[in-house]
Structure 1
Amino acid sequence: MQRSAPRLSRILACAAVPVMLVAVGCSSGSDSGDGGSGSGDKAGSSASATPKATQSTKSVEPAKFAELPQVCSSLSAKTIESLVPKAKNKKGTETPSSDAGSRGGCSWNGLEDKGTKGSQYRWLDVSFYRYESDATLGSGQERAADNYAKELAKVQATEGAKKLRTAPASGVGDQADTVTYELRKANEDFRYASVVARTGNVVVLLSYNGAGYEGADAPSEKSIRDGAVNAAKEAVAAVAAANK
């Protein structure tokens, strides 16, 4: 019996070893269930990192147009002569811009004296806004579409506008609307037509208005609207021509 005690101790000690190994094995198995062993953790980290990498390198549609036209040359001399017969500066007055590659504007105005029939005043201006594609903001086309809607809303909210109407302008870029209205200024009735158009990643804003002075009748809504739409078509075509 005395000899069996040490032997029994050795048996118990050896029996305890598998229990420890099983415990370690269970711990390892449990880790595996939560993401695996060391190699499993790397795989899990790699898998979780993949969406972040994809997000950071998200691709967007390239901007369609990289250039804007020379703003004051976007409308032909013939168009200016037709819409603003006695323009003070036939070459137009360019609006200062800190980034001519992204935005620009030009305007023309003049007063035509018709003798006993009074005088006719006309104002025409055109502006261009170009948007680059950006992974966080969207494609140039999407950004232009968003700003197209904002610019249209601004025109529709013109303070003091009467008889305001909005209608699609067919054949002008990818999308376009014409807003016509009347406005009383300096005791004269002015008729306005504003065209908001988008071609690719460029928004074109064109405004044309006129009034009759010294007893002359105000220009008709149709003449102002048609003049604005035709000029807008020309401005949109100038964008495409500048990027050939």
Structure 2
Amino acid sequence: MSEGTMQRPAQREQLNQRAKRLSRVFLGAATVPVMLIAAGCSSDSGSDSASKNSGAETSTSASPSPTVQAAAYNKLPEACDVLSGDTLGDLVPKAGKSGKEGASNDTSTRASCSWSSLDNNGVDGSQFRWLNVSLLRFESDVTRGSGDKLAQEYYAKQVKDVQAVEGAKNVKSEPVTGTGDEATAVRYDLKKKEGAFKQQTIVARVENVVITLDYNGAGLAGEKTPSADTLTKLAKQATKEAVTAVTKANGTDGGSDDGTAGANPSKSASKSPSKKATAKS
């Protein structure tokens, strides 16, 4: 056997081994795109699922807009017209019918009027009277609550402020029945350089409106001090008349039990700082 003949089987064997190695390389390379495609499909599927879940969560988290009960009364009467001529004649006999209207940038939510009377009896002295009626209306607001609730809060704070007036002596408080939804009368003595004053303050609430009536009197220059009981009785009558004026201004004759007659919905609440009742001279 020649040397050339002996080399042919060895060459064939080498060729076969090379072919096997190339075959394995080709097979390995072919599996890579398959794996990448599978991974891509898996990634897309997760993205779709997350997107669907996100949409579901957004839909679930949506909530309705908040609402609040509409205020019963949407306007105030003219403050200087809430009391009749006869009532003014009893409380401030020398004042006449014309009162002094208080300053307000919105008379539909805040209004006031005051009267003063001096009955001069010459050497026997004189009787002084001062009367003020303030009206404050609260509107409903989705962030702060209903007008009725806001009025209740202000009413309670106003009563406390009146009871804590600086310099007040012999402070007495009592509930007033038959006047709006709730009312409190506070009376006290207040000494000033002009004389001894008898102060009566009645705070009343009817639905979403709070009425504060201040009434004081004094005997000056030797005149006798007026009776606190008499002044309180007159102040109660006047407050009841002011409550009726509020209900009539909103289309009712005395206020319905549910407080909604003649009322239109309100949109925003009016915020007002409480004031302390003070005696005027």
Q: TM-score interval w.r.t. the shorter chain?
A: 0.7 to 0.9
Change in 2 beyond 3 A, CA 1:12/1:98: same
Residue 44 (str. 1) matches residue 51 (str. 2): no
Alignment equivalent of 2:66, drawn from 37, 58, 61 = 58
Structure 2, unaligned stretches of length 5 or more? Answer: 1-16, 252-281
Structure 2 length as normaliser, TM-score?
Answer: 0.72
Change in 2 beyond 3 A, CA 1:128/1:20: same
Deviation at 1:219, TM superposition (A): 1.1
Relative contact order (C-alpha < 8 Å, sep 6+): which is higher? Answer: 2
The one-letter code sitting in structure 2 at the alignment partner of 1:216 is E
Residue 91 (str. 1) matches residue 98 (str. 2): yes
Which stretch shifts more, 90-99 or 190-199?
Answer: 90-99
Residue 105 (str. 1) matches residue 112 (str. 2): yes
**Secondary structure of the corresponding residue to residue 97 of structure 1:** coil
Structure 1, unaligned stretches of length 5 or more? Answer: none
Alignment equivalent of 1:173, drawn from 180, 184, 200 = 180
The one-letter code sitting in structure 1 at the alignment partner of 2:208 is N
- Overall identity of the aligned pairs, in %: 39
Residue 72 (str. 1) matches residue 62 (str. 2): no
Alignment equivalent of 1:137, drawn from 129, 137, 144 = 144
Show the 5 A alignment for 1:1-244.
37-48=50-61, 50-51=62-63, 54=64, 57-87=65-95, 89-114=96-121, 117-244=124-251
Change in 2 beyond 3 A, CA 1:7/1:225: farther
**Secondary structure of the corresponding residue to residue 205 of structure 2:** strand
Q: Give the number of aligned pairs.
A: 235
**Secondary structure of the corresponding residue to residue 156 of structure 2:** helix
The higher radius of gyration belongs to 2
Deviation at 1:145, TM superposition (A): 1.4
Deviation at 1:40, TM superposition (A): 2.6
Q: Distance in 1 between matches of 2:98 and 2:225?
A: 26
User: Which 4+ runs in 1 deviate beyond 3 A?
Assistant: 1-32, 114-118
Deviation at 1:127, TM superposition (A): 0.6
**Residues 28, 37 of structure 1: 8 Å contact kept:** no
The one-letter code sitting in structure 1 at the alignment partner of 2:57 is G
Deviation at 1:185, TM superposition (A): 1.0
